Amino acid sequence: MINVAPRGRLTPDAPLAPLLWFKAGGAADWLFEPADPDDLCAFLKALPADMPVLALGLGSNLIVRDGGVAGVVVRLGKPFAKVSADGETLICGGGASGISVSSAARDAGVAGLEFLRGIPGTVGGFVRMNGGAYGREVADVLVEITVITRAGTVETRLASALDYSYRHSNLADGEIVVSARLRGRPGDKAAIQAEMDRIAAAREASQPLRTRTGGSTFKNPAPHKAWELVHNAGCRGLRVGGAEVSEKHSNFLINSHRASAADIEALGELVRAHVLARAGVNLEWEIQRVGRVRPA
C-alpha cells in the first residue's frame, strides 16, 4: 500500500500495454506521473525503501511480462519533455523524445545531434542505455545529467561518471534521469534538416516502424550484426503464438497477431537458440524485459 498524496497522478493496477510499443503485457501495481521533479523527489522519499521503482518513457525497447510490474512505474510526461538551447548545448528533460531533441537542435543551429532522430525513445531511456544510431551514441554528446535517486535525492553526474559502454551505463535500478545536457557544434539549419531527413528515410525503408514492435531486439555482438546472424539462422518470419520475426528487418520482433508478452519473449529466446546453434554466438537482449511471468 502507498500512503502518499502526490501532486501528480497516481493510478493503482494501471494497464501498461496501451503505453508500450508492443501493445502487450500486464499492469503496474502503481503508475505515477509526477507533476515536476520536486513532486517526484517527495514521492520517492515517502515510498517504502523496499518498493521497486521503474522509469517508463515512450514504451519502446521494453517487454512488460503478462503478470505485470511490482511496485511503482514512473512515467515522465509533458512536465519533463522540455528542450532548450544554450549556445552549442541543449538542456533536455528526461521525458523528451529523440525527435524533439534533434528538432530543437536544428532550430538552434546545433549540429551533431541528428542521430537522435533515429532513436525511438526518450532522453531518460537513451541516456541510461547509451542509445545509438547511425554510427554515433549518447556517450559522444552527453555532458552531464540530473538524476533523482531511489531515495528521492537530486544528483548531478558528469558523463564520465556513468562508465559508458555499448548499450550500458552504471545507473542503478530506481534512479531516474530527469534532465541531460547534450553538446553539439555550430551547423547550418538546412544541412541539419537534410541529415535528419536522410535518417528518417533510412529508418522507414529498413525498419517495420508501422507495426507493433519494440525496436532493435538484440545487441550487435562485434564484429557481427545481430540482424545478419538472425537472418542466416533462418529466423526471418519465424513465429511463436502471435509474435513474429519481422520480414523487413530480422532484428525486430513484431506483435502481428495479438501476441502476449510471453509469446514475444519466447520468440526472442527461440531466435537466440537458433543463432547459438548456427553461428555459436550468444545474442544478448537489447530490449529490456521486466515484470512477473503470469502463472500457467
* Residues linked to residue 85 through DSSP beta bridges, in sequence order: 90
Return the C-alpha cell found at 99: 525527435
Instruction: Say how far apart CA 218 and CA 126 lie, in whole Å.
Output: 15
Q: Which three cell numbers stand for residue 56?
A: 517508463
The CA distance from 39 to 113, in Å, is: 30
278 included as an active-site residue: no
Name every residue whose Cβ is closer than 8 Å to that of residue 210 and which is 6 or more positions away in sequence: none
Phi, psi of 215 (to 5 degrees): 80, -165
- Structural element, H or E, at residue 225: none
| CA angle at 65 for the pair 60 and 70, rounded to the nearest 5° | 100
Active-site entry in 102, 103, 216, 246: 216
What backbone torsions phi and psi does residue 255 show, to the nearest 5 degrees? -90, 90
Candidates 128, 167, 181, 272; catalytic one: 167
Catalytic residue check, 216: yes
Active site residue 97: no
> How far apart are the C-alpha atoms of 288 and 294, rounded to whole Å?
17
CA dist., res. 19 & res. 76, Å (int): 12
Burial category of 48 from C-beta neighbours within 10 Å (exposed 0-12, middle 13-18, buried 19 and up)? exposed
Known catalytic residues?
Answer: 167, 216, 286
